[in-house]
Amino acid sequence: MPEYLAPGVYVEETSFRSKSLEGVSTSTAGFVGPARYGPVSGEPELLTSFADFERIYGGLEDLVFTTGRQPNYLAHAVRAFYEEGGRRLYVSRIFDDGESSAAPDANYGHVDTAAAYSPALPSVTLHARFPGAAGNMRVTLTLQVGSN
CB atoms within 10 A of CB 89: 23
Q: Is residue 111 very low, low, confident or very high in pLDDT (cuts 50, 70, 90)?
A: very low
Between CA 36 and CA 95 the distance in angstroms is: 10
Between CA 98 and CA 16 the distance in angstroms is: 55
Residues 6+ apart with CB under 8 A from 15: none
Q: Is residue 10 very low, low, confident or very high in pLDDT (cuts 50, 70, 90)?
A: confident
Kindly report the length of the chain: 148
- Give the global pTM: 0.56
Between CA 12 and CA 2 the distance in angstroms is: 5
Q: Average of pLDDT values for 118-142?
A: 64
Query: Per residue in 52-105, pLDDT tens?
Result: 999 999 999 998 887 888 899 999 999 999 999 999 999 999 877 665 444 444
**Is 22 within 8 Å of 59 (Cβ atoms)?**
no
Q: Is the pLDDT of residue 51 over 90?
A: yes
Q: Average of pLDDT values for 108-120?
A: 43
- Residue 126: the pLDDT is 67
**Is 134 within 8 Å of 37 (Cβ atoms)?**
yes
